[in-house]
Amino acid sequence: MNDEQVPDEVELALRARLKTLQQEHADLEASIDALGHMPIPDQLMIARLKRKKLTLRDEIVKIEARILPDIIA
């Protein structure tokens, strides 16, 4: 399915982007957790952050699919 080989420089850029996205995802998770522990949590802000987190997750999955080859067992 993923028959194309990603050139080295492109792969390095993708890995750097992936690392950045994973850090942003972790930061959002921490923010959501912190907001959830407030006396009166801002549910609208939590929902927005969760939506952004899901968007980041989708982008992470797409980049991982480009970097990691499909393994046919």
User: pTM (2 decimals)?
Assistant: 0.80
- What beta strand segments (E) does the chain contain? none
Cβ count near 70 (within 10 Å): 8
Q: Walk along the chain (73 residues) and give the pLDDT tens digit of each residue.
A: 444 556 789 999 999 999 999 999 999 999 999 999 999 999 999 999 999 999 999 999 999 999 887 666 5
Q: What are the CA-CA distances from residue 31 to residues 35, 54, 56 (Å)?
A: 6, 14, 15
Task: Tell me what pLDDT residue 68 has.
Answer: 83
In the numeric block, the tokens 């991982």 are attached to 64
Q: What is the pLDDT of residue 15?
A: 95
